[in-house]
Amino acid sequence: MSDDRKPENQETGMPVGIPGSAPGKKRRWIYFIVAAVVILAGGLAYLYFGGCLFGPGATDNTAGAHAQGEKYTCGMHPFIITDKPGNCPICGMTLTKIEGAPAPAAPAGAKSAPAAKPSGGARKILFYRNPMNPKITSQTPAKDEMGMDFVPVYEDETKGGGGAKSPEGYATVQVGAERIRLAGIQSAPATRETISRPVRAAGVVVADETRVRRVQSKIDGWVEKLHSNFTGQLVTKGQPLLEIYSPELVATQREYLLARAGVERMKESPYEDTRQMSSGLAQAARTRLKLFDVPESFIEELERTGKVRRTVTLNAPVSGYVTGKEVFEGTRVTPGMDLLTVTDLSRVWIDADLYEYEAQSVRVGQTATLETVADPGAKLKGRVSFIYPTFSPETRTLKVRFEFPNPGLRLKPQMYASVSLDLQGVTGVVIPDSALIETGVRQIVFVDTGDGSFEPREVKVGVRGDGKAQILSGVKAGENVAVRANFLLDSESKLRAALTRMTGGAQ
């Protein structure tokens, strides 16, 4: 027999769930409150999202979304990528906007407006690469294990890596106007002009060897008196240097006087042979004195007085400075012995060393300019007087001799001097020397082709001088070349070329 009675509440004794009971009323009120809250929330959502965003008169809030789609990077550290402007965490440089970054997706149901194409056409993204490891790529935007965004690789960035114009290992670089300004990249035009190659070389002042005279003894004797008694003394031509006593000179004087007396006695002789023999003996004695370097004035005095002198005075053969002194008063001298050295320093030589590539263009007779550390304001004009025939095996240089006047004895032997001369000028395409990037085996320049594009080219350099370089091939007159911050272009070009090789030529 079934029990139709309703269950009763143990506390109140009333049936459970019967309408009108207290728990039923409470549950209905709860349902009502929840429903009211849901309806109110839905209305507010409709008013806000429907009326404000998509309703009539709604304000355009796509700027924030567009800002979130913009990317910023550092010109010095391109692997730093962020979606907000600011400063580089490494170098502190202001981050620059990446030109051509992909625009954010349009809202569902909204009609997309045609995108504005940048000058030169839209840049096509080929793939995305890991900023820390370029070998890791992705066809869609992604992040690496450190949370850094992958860097987009554009089609124009992978071109030029070893093409017909770009040297091997280099690629054309595309740089935005803002990055050019921040990096300090500057360009200068290649012009056609005449350039001369100045050559500067350090040299040493030496005495002119053709103006050096040594005073030597031709007989045995002793130095009785020195009129020039110290090194460096200035003497003039014909000035007494020393007095020498020699028994041979005394005997020769006596022989000359006797021969002269015999000539006087033989004047009345009727025999012609006797007169000639007497005259010949006198002339031989006089010549002997002259061969012993006895001055002419001394011989004339001997003829006038007829008295033999004990010492003979030797005079200076040239004007100059006493640069060598080998004797003192009382020194015994022998034939061939150096007594004094007199050097004329009115003109001097400069022996300078030139490198092989410089010496090939030097010719005898070319004019040169000389400067010294001791007298910086003075400049002397001279010429190339001799080119030595052999190279120095130690320094691999060629010695060149310059000849300069020496007014006021400004140039002293063994003084250092700087010699400069302009070689023959040549006419051709000339660019600033700072545009060249020396790699050791070749020279590279970056040509500004416009629209922020810099194309690397290998050039052949000719004459260089005055901060300029002659270009034999690679650049034409009128083209602009990067002259400042081109090392940044060099690094970026090599990076893009390496990226092209690692990705299989933009595949």
The H-or-E segment that residue 288 falls in is helix 272-291
Structure tokens at 71: 């990317």
Rounded-to-integer distance, Cα 409 and Cα 401, Å: 19
Q: Of 57 and 361, which is predicted with more confidence? A: 361
Q: Which of 234, 257, 245, 268 is nearest to 345 (CA)?
A: 234
Burial of 390 (C-beta count, 10 Å sphere; 0-12/13-18/19+): exposed
Q: Give the side-chain half-sphere CA count within 13 A for 377.
A: 0
CA angle 481–483–487, rounded 5-degree value: 105
Structure tokens at 217: 């003894």
Whether 146 shows a pLDDT value over 90: the answer reads no
**Bridge partners (DSSP) listed for residue 380:** 370
Rounded-to-integer distance, Cα 94 and Cα 92, Å: 6
State the DSSP string of 235-250. E-TT-EEEEEE-HHHH
Structure tokens at 4: 């139709």
Alpha helices (runs of H) in 19-159, residue ranges in sequence order? 22-45, 62-69
Whether 407 shows a pLDDT value over 70: the answer reads yes
CA distance to 54, 220, 287, 506, per residue, from 292 (Å): 127, 11, 9, 96
Whether 405 shows a pLDDT value over 90: the answer reads yes
Rounded-to-integer distance, Cα 104 and Cα 500, Å: 28
Alpha helices (runs of H) in 306-373, residue ranges in sequence order? 356-359
| Length of the chain measured in residues | 507
DSSP code, position 93 = P
DSSP code, position 434 = G
Rounded-to-integer distance, Cα 303 and Cα 295, Å: 13
For the CA atoms of 229, 234, 239, 240, the dihedral, rounded to the nearest 10 degrees, stands at 0
**3-state SS string over 134-150?**
CCCEECCCCECCCCCEC
Whether 103 shows a pLDDT value over 50: the answer reads no
Count of other CB atoms within 10 angstroms of residue 156: 20
Q: 24 pLDDT band (50/70/90 cuts)?
A: low
Structure tokens at 430: 């000339």
Q: Give the side-chain half-sphere CA count within 13 A for 334.
A: 0
**Bridge partners (DSSP) listed for residue 138:** 128
pLDDT given at position 106 = 38
Whether 22 shows a pLDDT value over 70: the answer reads no
pTM recorded for the entire structure: 0.52
Q: What is the mean pLDDT of residues 317-335?
A: 91
Rounded-to-integer distance, Cα 136 and Cα 147, Å: 14
pLDDT given at position 127 = 81
Domains, the chain, in order of start with CATH, read 173-197+426-502 (2.40.420.20), 199-208+344-422 (2.40.30.170), 213-339 (2.40.50.100)
The sign one gets for the Cα dihedral 125, 130, 136, 139 is negative
Whether 137 shows a pLDDT value over 70: the answer reads yes
Structure tokens at 385: 């007087």
Q: Are 126 and 105 in contact (CB under 8 A)?
A: no
**Average pLDDT in the chain:** 78
**Identity (one letter) of the amino acid at 299?**
I
The tens digit of pLDDT for each residue in 112-130 reads: 333 334 444 566 787 888 8
pLDDT given at position 62 = 38
What is the percent of the chain where pLDDT is above 90? 29
pLDDT given at position 39 = 57
Q: Are 226 and 313 in contact (CB under 8 A)?
A: no
Q: What is the mean pLDDT of residues 62-88?
A: 70
Q: Which of 420, 310, 417, 426 is nearest to 374 (CA)?
A: 417
Q: 439 pLDDT band (50/70/90 cuts)?
A: confident
Rounded-to-integer distance, Cα 485 and Cα 501, Å: 25
* 51-65, 133-147, 163-177, 202-216 — most confident range: 202-216
Q: What is the mean pLDDT of residues 16-24?
A: 48
**End-to-end CA distance of the chain, in Å?**
86
**3-state SS string over 323-337?**
EEECCCCCCEECCCC
Rounded-to-integer distance, Cα 306 and Cα 300, Å: 10
Q: What is the mean pLDDT of residues 192-203?
A: 85
pLDDT given at position 350 = 94
Rounded-to-integer distance, Cα 407 and Cα 93, Å: 60
CA 320 to chain centroid, in Å, comes to 44
* Residue 163 three-state SS: coil
Q: 204 pLDDT band (50/70/90 cuts)?
A: very high
All residues at 6 or more sequence positions from 326 whose CB lies less than 8 Å from its CB, including other chains? 337, 338, 339, 340
